[in-house]
Chains A and B, each alone.
Chain A
């Protein structure tokens, strides 16, 4: 089955800095890569996703890039703010199953 590795497990940045979280996947048939944000005491919430026919996608301060050849994808957050502090999960899934395999999560801490 699919295996998703996520790094780093913890990321500490100063407000205004950029943050990058990286994930790799093992199944070349995977074609959908979502990112979820989990705030303290809440369930994960989808913040951005990318499909395998696209190399990059942006939504305001967040962006995701995908390298199908290397089987890795990354989340980029620019101009970080304290409210960006949360646990971020990457995931991968493929058509027909639609059930995502999650990475182990990254705890992002943004210091004011």
Chain B
């Protein structure tokens, strides 16, 4: 099993460009999450999806949109990238009712 797979691993964007970060899990988990990690700021929740067909805002949702395409896939979209969105993005998943998160290896995004 691959676990949680994120693509791409690295991306450089210009201000104003758009892109979608992809995430897929093969563990039959119901819940999926998007976090961003910035130096000295820890892991901050952007959006989460408790189950297929539902999405909710986290702590820092501004500038992002998400789509829970099916049970396996949860994508994060930046419609108009800004330098403040330069960060490392992590996708995670968990079983419903379980607290343990399984993380992907991250996407390092730079917005120039």
By a beta-carbon cutoff of 8 Å, the part of chain A in contact with chain B is: 6, 9, 32, 34, 36, 41-46, 49, 89, 93, 98-100, 102-105
Contact = CB atoms under 8 A, between A and B. Distances in A.
A41 B40 contact: no
B33 to A, nearest CB: 7
Interface of B: 4, 31, 33, 40-45, 48, 58, 90, 92, 94, 97-101, 103-106
A41 B105 contact: yes
A104 B104 contact: no
B32 to A, nearest CB: 11
Contacts of B44: 102
Contact of B99 (A6, A45, A100): A100
Contacts of A89: 42-43
A57 to B, nearest CB: 14
A43 B104 contact: yes
Contact of B40 (A43, A93, A102, A104): A104
A19 B80 CA distance: 43
Contacts of A6: 42
A32 B99 contact: yes
A34 B100 contact: yes
B99 A34 contact: yes
Contacts of A102: 42-44
B44 to A, nearest CB: 8
A39 B4 CA distance: 16
Contacts of B41: 104
List the 5 shortest-distance A-B pairs measured between CB atoms, nearest first: A43-B103, A104-B42, A102-B43, A102-B42, A32-B99
B101 A100 contact: yes
Contacts of B92: 43
